[in-house]
Structure formats: C-alpha cells, structure tokens
C-alpha cells in the first residue's frame, strides 16, 4: 500500500544554512521530516564541511590515489586487515553474490583496536586503517583525516536535527554513539567507516552493476559525489528508479537499516544502486561515509515513544514490501557489532576467511562460493 500523494520523483535539496537562522530553522526541520519519512534520501547544501578540504580530496588526492602503481595498491590490500580496511581491486566486492564493477579503498576514522582475547569477534572489527606510503601521495593521510573528522561532526549534529524532526529530544539518538549521550566520548570510541570509490567506464547494456541494489546497514550515510558523472539511483515507493545526479557543494544523506529499526520504520531506509558508467565515457568517483554505532548495543534495548501524530506519518506514507536487498533482520536480536561483522563477511568472504574463519564457515557452510 503506497499513498501516491507522498511518493517522490526527485530527491529533495535541503539548505543547512536555514538551521542557523531562528526564522528558518523550523522550516528546515519540517523539510527534514518529509525527507526522512517519505524519501529516505536528501541532498544537503551549505553543509559544514570545509569546501577547500572537499576540493583538495576530489581534485588532488582521488586521482593520485587510483593512479598509484598496482604493486603499491596491492601492498595495502584488504586481505591484510581484520578490520576490512585497505584496497579492493576492481570487481572484487559483491552485492548479493554479483561482482560490483568498482575499485576502492576502505578506511576508518582513526582508531586503535581494543580487542582482548575472549571478547566477541566483533571487537576485532574496529582498528587502524592501512595507508599508502606517504612519499607516494604526500599529505593525503592528513587531508583525509581532516575530512573524516568534519563529516563525523556533521553526522552528530545532523542526528540531533533528525531526532528533533521526529519529535524526540535532540540528544535522543546520541545514545547510540555514547551511553551518556556525550559526543566528546563518542569521538575515538565509535569507528565510522568511509571509502573512496572509482567506477571505471566499463558498463554495457548487459553488465552495468556499479553496485547492486542494496540498503545501507548503519545509521546515516554521507555520500560525496566526487565527479559530475550520473549513476546513483534510488527506488521510490512505487518501485521506479530515480536519478540522484551530482550537485556540486552538496552531500547526499541517506538512512541506514539500523536507524530505520530504532525509529520503528519512521525514518525510511531506501534501496539504491549505482549504474556503472558506459564504455567510452569517464570514471565516476564517490566517497560514502557510513555512521556506525556502539557495537555492544542491541537496538531493541533503546525504545522510543513517538507521538501519535508522528506515527501517523508512517501510515500516510504507506508500506512497501522489501523488493531487493539484505534484510538485516539480525538487528532485533544480535548486538550491532555482530550485524556489522556479518555484513562485512558477506561482502568480502575472501578477506573474512583469513581473519574470521569460523564465522565465514558458518555463513558459507559449503565453502567459499565460486563468485568469491
């Protein structure tokens, strides 16, 4: 059941500068409520991340990163890392058992591994990134960490607005980052993850999966579309694919499954995909930043009471059956860290078998599938 009056055919653009002005703040919160409940995706213009840092990443570092000699990329291959950080060669990641036509480097915000023997496996998941040699790409690490720090902060600020738009106290969602809702404590204790992705122009009519249809697993995703190429598409309630063309100076923000779960489905996780650039065009680049949450939390441990008029928005929007994509049903019973680990093992089973042999065996009882 879908209410056609609330279905979307474009992704709304929200102006973050409205938040700083008491006359326009309310308007922003209302626009956010519409985007969060009915679309699950939005563009954020005039955001707080320094445009010169963004420009330095997109214009200077991204091309140099992918232009590193192949043997230097291979030295930091993901298989080295129990944290699933590092380089993944072209078409070596899988969405629902089909190769994604992209090449990428995965990193986390700076983090020291805190795993102690006897603790759950998911504690191994968070740890340091792997870096290309500084002399081959001078200044990259510093600029990238500055970028991550600013997006991390935007993420915490944005969570406060999101809580507010659903009628919750503005720090309500911060409990998923720190038990005392203290964001200063969350910094350095929650390991958000981000990657730098290249979609080379290899698409054909028969084979064009840049990344297959999926839902993001975590809380919020902040996506920087780092080149003018189209490709990102989101599925509306009717099932049509809607283009999310790059708009310079914006982030695309979307809701992950965990945030959908804890808001009782009010904040909508929306299925999306990337269509690979066609042959003879140019590469598409992007940087998705995935907001994580406390690993030990079972999401059902924190229950909100939403006002009836807020819950009514969900009825008005209607429900769509999950068409494609992983369910993350484990969020009802398992700690968030376990759900995240399962997701990583399914996407990178060849990496997982080195570091999480038992879990890999459990998830792939007949051995690694042929596609891996």
Ligand X SMILES: O=C(O)CCC(=O)C(=O)O
Distance of closest approach, residue 250 Cβ to ligand X, in angstroms: 13
CA 125 → CA 27, 82, 129, 296, 336, distances in Å? 40, 6, 11, 12, 12
Which residue is it, tokens 């504690």? 123
Distance of closest approach, residue 285 Cβ to ligand X, in angstroms: 8
Site for ligand X in 84-113 (CB under 6 A): none
Q: Which is nearer to ligand X, 106 or 152 (CB)?
A: 106
Pinpoint the alpha helices (H) of the chain.
25-34, 51-55, 62-66, 70-75, 140-165, 183-186, 257-262, 308-317, 336-347, 349-355, 357-363
CA 213 → CA 86, 209, 326, 339, distances in Å? 23, 9, 9, 19
Q: Is 211 in the site for ligand X (CB under 6 A)?
A: yes
Q: What sign results for the dihedral spanned by CA atoms 293, 298, 303, 309?
A: positive
Q: How far apart are CA 115 and CA 151, in angstroms?
A: 26
Distance of closest approach, residue 221 Cβ to Fe ion, in angstroms: 6
Q: Is 197 in the site for ligand X (CB under 6 A)?
A: yes
Q: Is 216 in the site for Fe ion (CB under 5 A)?
A: yes
Distance of closest approach, residue 200 Cβ to ligand X, in angstroms: 13
Q: Is 93 in the site for Fe ion (CB under 5 A)?
A: no
Q: How far apart are CA 350 and CA 78, in angstroms?
A: 10
Among 272, 314, 344, 348, binds ligand X (CB under 6 A): 272
Which residue is it, tokens 């099932």? 239
Show Cβ contacts of residue 311 under 8 Å, excluding neighbours closer than 6 positions. 264, 266
Total residues binding Fe ion (CB under 5 A): 1
Q: Which is nearer to Fe ion, 7 or 216 (CB)?
A: 216
Q: Is 178 in the site for Fe ion (CB under 5 A)?
A: no
Q: Is 168 in the site for ligand X (CB under 6 A)?
A: no
Which residue is it, tokens 């690694």? 368
Q: Is 100 in the site for Fe ion (CB under 5 A)?
A: no
Degrees to nearest 5, angle at CA 97 with 93 and 102: 30
Q: Is 216 in the site for ligand X (CB under 6 A)?
A: yes
Q: How far apart are CA 199 and CA 228, in angstroms?
A: 12
Site for ligand X in 230-249 (CB under 6 A): 232
Out of ligand X, Fe ion, none, what residue 68 binds, judged by CB under 5 to 8 A for its kind, is none
Total residues binding ligand X (CB under 6 A): 9
Site string for ligand X, 277-296 (x = CB under 6 A): ---------x-x--------
Q: Is 260 in the site for ligand X (CB under 6 A)?
A: no
**Residues interacting with ligand X, by CB under 6 A?**
197, 211, 216, 223, 232, 272, 274, 286, 288
């Amino acid at each position: 059941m879908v209410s056609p009056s609330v279905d979307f055919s474009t992704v709304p653009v929200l102006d973050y500068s409205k938040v700083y002005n008491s006359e326009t703040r309310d308007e922003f919160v209302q626009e956010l409520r519409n985007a969060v409940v009915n679309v699950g995706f939005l563009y954020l213009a005039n955001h707080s991340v320094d445009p010169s840092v963004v420009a330095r990443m997109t214009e200077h570092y991204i091309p140099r990163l992918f232009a590193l000699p192949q043997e230097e990329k291979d030295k930091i291959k993901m298989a080295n890392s129990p944290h699933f950080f590092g380089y993944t060669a072209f078409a070596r990641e899988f969405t629902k058992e089909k190769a994604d036509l992209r090449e990428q480097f995965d990193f986390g915000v700076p983090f020291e591994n805190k795993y102690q023997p006897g603790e759950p496996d998911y504690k191994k998941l968070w740890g340091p990134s792997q870096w290309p040699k500084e002399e081959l790409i001078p200044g990259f690490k510093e600029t990238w960490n500055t970028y991550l720090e600013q997006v991390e902060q935007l993420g915490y600020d944005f969570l406060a607005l999101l809580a507010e738009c659903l009628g919750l106290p503005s720090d309500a969602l911060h409990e998923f980052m720190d038990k005392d809702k203290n964001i200063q404590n969350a910094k350095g204790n929650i390991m958000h993850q981000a990657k730098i992705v290249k979609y080379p122009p290899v698409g054909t009519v028969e084979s064009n999966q840049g990344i297959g249809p999926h839902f993001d697993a975590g809380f919020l995703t902040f996506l920087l579309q780092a080149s003018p190429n189209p490709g990102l598409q989101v599925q509306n309630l009717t099932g049509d694919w809607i283009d999310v063309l790059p708009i310079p100076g914006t982030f695309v923000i979307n809701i992950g499954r965990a945030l959908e779960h804890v808001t009782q489905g009010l904040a909508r996780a929306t299925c999306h995909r990337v269509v690979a650039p066609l042959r003879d065009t140019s590469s598409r680049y992007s940087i998705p930043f995935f907001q994580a949450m406390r690993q030990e939390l079972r999401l059902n441990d924190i229950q909100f009471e939403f006002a009836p008029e807020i819950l009514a928005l969900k009825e008005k929007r209607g429900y769509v059956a999950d068409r494609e994509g992983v369910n993350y049903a484990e969020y009802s019973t398992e700690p968030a860290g376990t759900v995240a680990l399962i997701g990583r093992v399914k996407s990178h089973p060849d990496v997982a078998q080195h570091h999480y042999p038992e879990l890999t065996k459990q998830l792939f009882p007949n051995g690694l599938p042929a596609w891996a």
